[in-house]
Amino acid sequence: MHIVFRLVLIVALVVILVHSQGARGGSRGGGSRGGSGYRGGTNRGSTCQGSNCHKAGIIVGSVIGGILGLIAIIFLIIFCCRRYRGRPSESNASFITKSSTNERNKTYQTYEENYFKNGDWMSRYYQYGQWHGPHLMSITFDHATGRVTGHGYDDVGKFTIDGTFSEENQRIALTKIYALGTGDAKENFGHAVSVKLIWNTSHGQFEGKWFVQTNNYRGEDKFELKFGGSSESFLEKRVD
C-alpha cells in the first residue's frame, strides 16, 4: 500500500511541476512584449511562447500523469489480488443459504436420497499444480441443527472439522483446523482452511474450493468430498 501511495504522490508532484513550468513560460512571453527590443528579439527565437507553452505543459503533464496513474492502478490491482487471495467472498452461513441454479444441480430440491451421511468420507484437494489425496475423514451431520463436525488426517497434518450444511440447497461449508506439530512441519502452521462445497449430481460428490490465508501463504483451489464408508469409522485408529 505504501508503494501505491508513493506513486500517486509522484504523479501529483510531476503534474504540479509541469504546470508550473508552463505558467512561467507564459509570463516570460508576456514580459518580452512589454520590455526592450533585446528581450523581444530573444523571445522570438524561443519555441515556447505565451499560451502555447502553457498548453504544451498541460499536454505533457497529462501524458506523464496518465502513464504513472496507470502504473499505480496496476500496482493497486496486484496488491488487492494478493491481499484478498485465499479469503472466501462470503461467510459460511451466507454460502449455504444460496440455492443452486446451474444445470447440473437442478435435482437439488429432491429428497429421495440423503447426501449427508455420517461416516467416513474421502477428500482430495488441488494445490501446487497437482491433486493431493484421497484422504479419509470422519464426518457427522446433525440434521436437527445443521451442524457438521469431524476429524481427519492428510499430508499436512491432523485436523478437526466444524461447519454447517443445508439439505435444501445441498451445500456444505467446513472449517478445517490443523493441530500444530502434526504432519508436515513446513506446511502445518496450526492454521484454518475454509472449504465450501456444492453437491454435483453427475459425479455423485461434493465439489468446490478451499481457501487459506496465513502469514506465510495465501491460496485457493479445487476441493472434492465423496462418501466412502460405513458409519463405524476405521479412521479413528489412524488419527488417534
pLDDT in tens, 116-173: 999 999 999 999 999 999 999 999 999 999 999 999 999 999 999 999 999 999 999 9
pTM score above 0.85: no
* C-alpha cell, 44: 522570438
The total of other beta-carbon atoms located within 10 Å of residue 32's CB is: 20
What distance in Å separates the CA atoms of residue 132 and residue 210, rounded to the nearest whole number?
A: 13
Q: Name the phi and psi angles at 184, rounded to 5.
A: -85, 115
What residues have CB less than 8 Å from 181, skipping those under 6 apart?
A: 157, 188, 190
pLDDT at 108: 43
